Structure 1
Amino acid sequence: MLTQKTKDIVKATAPVLAQHGYDIIKCFYTRLFDAHPELKNVFNMAHQEQGQQQQALARAVYAYAENIEDPGSLAAVLKNIANKHASLGVRPEHYPIVGENLLAAIKETLGDAATDDIISAWAQAYGNLADVLMGMESGLYEQSAERLGGWTGWRTFVVREKRPESSVITSFILEPADGKPVVNFEPGQYISVAVDVPELHLQQIRQYSLSDMPNGHTYRISVKRESGGTYPPGYVSCLLHDHVNVGDEIKVAAPYGSFHIDVDAKTPIVLISGGVGLTPMISMLKRAIQDPQRQVVFVHGARNSGVHAMRDRLRETANTYANFKLVVFYDDPLPQDIEGTDYDLKGLVDVNAIKGAILLPDADYYICGPVPFMRIQHDALKHLGIHEARIHYEVFGPDLFAE
């Protein structure tokens, strides 16, 4: 239990850490990887190069300090972090390593301003946070191991099928090499995939939403080729697209994630996605329409039909289920794309333009896509009067969403 003095010191120094946050975290990662290069196999090195991971951790540290009097307000955030840690295979022995290097980075960056009292207070605060996360992660590991088909750590899977879904998205159906069952999952959850990246001489881990219903035997992920542009091409996505084929083996962690629908609820759900953000929505949709009385609206935005994955199957589903409504936005339709047939509205996703379709009593709203897209949709839903508790979202990699 933290003393009030410790809490006061942490709160008082939070603005200083926020001011120097990026430099502190940059120093932290440099120290961490110099002392423990093996941890490069756990961290996303593409996000390291881009500075995203540093920004995300700096914000997380500041958010924790700001809410240290009321840690319950961070319950949802901590739940997300614990699930991602479990998916990455984070273990209790990792926490002292991170804590030691984080405190050293604070001291190195702030110099004499980081007094012994300040370092001691932050050490206690970090220890308290670590204990909370370790407890949550231990529970997640136990739940996974105890369920039929469950496991902890990495399990070898074989690519059974590789199928293009659009010009940029390919689905992989994975089955366990040992032929045994796989644990079922909540619609919207993800798995981690670990592959060796030759150009980095490292293992890299990425999380991909499961894009089909649970069946107890296989998992399906649908991966977008990250071809670069502002940032370099995605190490893992390009490797999966170009070099992983049917019959190849990859390592997979059990499903985790707190972004999922309540399968027992009867209230409406509204799914809002952009680009490859549709992948968890497909799983949610397939499960939700098993209840023919449940209302489901799926709003999706894509550039055009060339990059719109699974579009024919979605249209077929919309024509089959009376309580399912599909609304598609294309912001750059191809000449052959027909409004009213291939897509419904031209432009970026605009929930205000379709509020008659999405403002449903007691509905829950699920958002997935690029971070700027989610910010816009989140704010638009709030403007329409949707309560924060009804808005759910998923971010892979550094969470730059909550500010």
Structure 2
Amino acid sequence: MPAPLSPQTRSIVKACIPALEAHGLAITQEMYRRLLSDEAIRDLFNISHQKSGDQPKALAFAVLAYARHIDDPTPLKDMIERIAEKHVGLNILPEHYPFVGTALLGAIAHVLGDQATPDIMEAWKEAYGFLADVLINREQQIYHAHTEEKGGWTGWRPFRIASRSMETADTASFTLTPVDGQPVMKHRPGQYLSFRLDIPDVGSERRNYSISSAPADNHYRITIKKHEDGLVSRWFHDHAQEGDILEVSAPAGDFFLNPSSERPLCFISAGAGITPIMSMMETLTAYNDRRSIHFIHGTQSTQTTIFADKICTLAANGTIKADLFYSQMDSLPPQMKGVALHTGRISPSWLKTHEDKQADFYICGPTEFMLSMIHTLKEQNIPMERIHYEMFGSAADPYLVTQA
């Protein structure tokens, strides 16, 4: 473990909280401007999150949370774990951290100007070094665990697209097998794969996509919805074909099914948020898990329901009880065994009257949707340790960044 921060550093960092509240976003925007001027470092980032502003916002919230909890970072353990898993997926290494530190300290000095006294700069240098050491140590533990797993690996491993199939008009599934023909590490249901892609006329891009299949020792399946403003999702849909080779890192992520819980399960998703949830449900089916499963899903219509056939099969054989909500349908198709159909969106009032207060909840979907579901469950006195959620991309909402 890194050496504890000095009392003087902790005092100075806490004194900087008002400045971070006022200028935190300007600092992180300036930090990324400096950091991304280095092409080698730029290639480590998802540039779409820079264009949307999500990444600087997420980091600003994280830095502020760190300052507020500088005396005892324990409440930030989930945030730190999520960051470490994300870094492992993207193959961030210890030698990358000094670049970030230099950019962050330079940004603080630039934005705060004369307020950035030598004592303040020295305190933030120590505070950044402490947090960097915490992350590096945790990431090294995860990398080591991957090498110990059967079929595990570190770095980028070549995988072949073994098959491609359309789930809806704008959503495709890709089954991936390792080029070397050796086993692959069994993921935890809910985790994601990270990809390093070289897109013509664009350059290097890195992305994460949830694994949508149950764990296996010879393949993974990812399911990608095409977004018109999504550079990589468009590339997968328009150009990725069977036989193509992709560079893939080992499964990562802190959103996964708790194997030790025996509680009932409630899965709540919207749109493409179903992808990690399907991995969980297929896993429970494969292992004949006897827990009750309530699946609640929102989408636009029957035509946009990803994995519709799988949902119907699981419901018909009694594996799950399903409620499907269609936001753009005025009338409903015929009812199906085990599936209740609804018009409109999943509302807090509906959830309050249909939830099992003894369940473990797993939530995935757009940010505002997840916030609504999480707040509703908390209002019903569901403890946060039983509410699990996944964020696609960077969390630009402070609540989701810190689980505050």
TM-score, normalized by length of structure 1? 0.94
Which of 261, 264, 271 is matched with 1:268 structurally? Answer: 264
What CA distance in whole angstroms lies between the structure 2 residues aligned with 1:373 and 1:237? 22
CA separation of 1:327 and 1:25: change in aligned 2, threshold 3 A: same
1:244 matched to which residue of 2?
240
Q: Deviations over 1:361-401 (max 9, x none)?
A: 2x111110111111111111112221122111111221123
1:209 matched to which residue of 2?
210
TM-score, normalized by length of structure 2? 0.94
Correspondence 1:326 to 2:327:
no
* 1:356, distance to aligned residue in structure 2 (A): 4.8
CA separation of 1:356 and 1:339: change in aligned 2, threshold 3 A: farther
* 1:355, distance to aligned residue in structure 2 (A): 4.0
2:299 matched to which residue of 1?
302
What CA distance in whole angstroms lies between the structure 2 residues aligned with 1:352 and 1:113? 49
* 1:351, distance to aligned residue in structure 2 (A): 4.7
Which of 16, 27, 31 is matched with 2:30 structurally? Answer: 27
**What is the count of residue pairs matched by the alignment?**
393
What CA distance in whole angstroms lies between the structure 1 residues aligned with 2:330 and 2:383? 37
Identity of aligned residues (%): 39
Q: Deviations over 1:337-370 (max 9, x none)?
A: 4163486111111253144542242x11111011
2:216 is aligned with what amino acid?
Answer: N
What CA distance in whole angstroms lies between the structure 2 residues aligned with 1:287 and 1:50? 35
Whether the 8 Å contact between 1:160 and 1:173 is mirrored in structure 2 is yes
1:353 matched to which residue of 2?
350
1:221 matched to which residue of 2?
222
What CA distance in whole angstroms lies between the structure 1 residues aligned with 2:280 and 2:398? 24
* 1:225, distance to aligned residue in structure 2 (A): 0.5
Find the residue that maps to 1:344 and give its secondary structure.
strand
Find the residue that maps to 2:216 and give its secondary structure.
coil
Whether the 8 Å contact between 1:47 and 1:53 is mirrored in structure 2 is yes
Which of 83, 86, 103 is matched with 1:84 structurally? Answer: 86
Whether the 8 Å contact between 2:58 and 2:397 is mirrored in structure 1 is no
Whether the 8 Å contact between 2:58 and 2:398 is mirrored in structure 1 is no
Whether the 8 Å contact between 1:194 and 1:204 is mirrored in structure 2 is yes
What CA distance in whole angstroms lies between the structure 2 residues aligned with 1:146 and 1:9? 42
2:144 is aligned with what amino acid?
Answer: E
What CA distance in whole angstroms lies between the structure 1 residues aligned with 2:181 and 2:128? 42
Which of 318, 335, 346 is matched with 1:340 structurally? Answer: 335
Structure 1: 5+ residue stretches without partners: 228-232
What CA distance in whole angstroms lies between the structure 1 residues aligned with 2:168 and 2:330? 14
Which deviates more, 348-357 or 25-34? 348-357
Find the residue that maps to 1:306 and give its secondary structure.
helix
Which of 264, 270, 285 is matched with 2:281 structurally? Answer: 285
Which of 354, 373, 386 is matched with 1:377 structurally? Answer: 373
Correspondence 1:41 to 2:43:
yes
Structure 2 matches for 1:173-184, cutoff 5 A? 173-184=175-186
Whether the 8 Å contact between 2:35 and 2:42 is mirrored in structure 1 is no
Whether the 8 Å contact between 1:330 and 1:346 is mirrored in structure 2 is yes
Which deviates more, 41-50 or 285-294? 285-294
Whether the 8 Å contact between 1:292 and 1:321 is mirrored in structure 2 is no
Which deviates more, 313-322 or 3-12? 313-322
Correspondence 1:191 to 2:193:
yes
2:164 matched to which residue of 1?
162
* 1:293, distance to aligned residue in structure 2 (A): 2.1
* 1:20, distance to aligned residue in structure 2 (A): 1.0
CA separation of 1:26 and 1:72: change in aligned 2, threshold 3 A: same
Q: Deviations over 1:57-99 (max 9, x none)?
A: 1111111111111111101110111000000000000111100
What CA distance in whole angstroms lies between the structure 2 residues aligned with 1:47 and 1:312? 33
4+ residue runs of structure 1 moved beyond 4 angstroms?
Answer: none
1:230 matched to which residue of 2?
none
What CA distance in whole angstroms lies between the structure 2 residues aligned with 1:379 and 1:97? 38
What CA distance in whole angstroms lies between the structure 2 residues aligned with 1:370 and 1:96? 33
Find the residue that maps to 2:241 and give its secondary structure.
coil
What CA distance in whole angstroms lies between the structure 2 residues aligned with 1:16 and 1:300? 42
Whether the 8 Å contact between 2:161 and 2:174 is mirrored in structure 1 is yes
Whether the 8 Å contact between 1:263 and 1:288 is mirrored in structure 2 is no
Which deviates more, 176-185 or 345-354? 345-354
CA separation of 1:334 and 1:151: change in aligned 2, threshold 3 A: farther
Whether the 8 Å contact between 2:357 and 2:382 is mirrored in structure 1 is no
What CA distance in whole angstroms lies between the structure 2 residues aligned with 1:141 and 1:334? 50
Which deviates more, 156-165 or 387-396? 387-396
1:237 is aligned with what amino acid?
Answer: S
Whether the 8 Å contact between 1:268 and 1:360 is mirrored in structure 2 is no
Whether the 8 Å contact between 1:339 and 1:345 is mirrored in structure 2 is no
2:25 is aligned with what amino acid?
Answer: Y
Find the residue that maps to 2:36 and give its secondary structure.
helix
CA separation of 1:199 and 1:48: change in aligned 2, threshold 3 A: farther
* 1:41, distance to aligned residue in structure 2 (A): 1.3
What CA distance in whole angstroms lies between the structure 2 residues aligned with 1:245 and 1:63? 43
2:303 is aligned with what amino acid?
Answer: G
What CA distance in whole angstroms lies between the structure 1 residues aligned with 2:149 and 2:325? 40
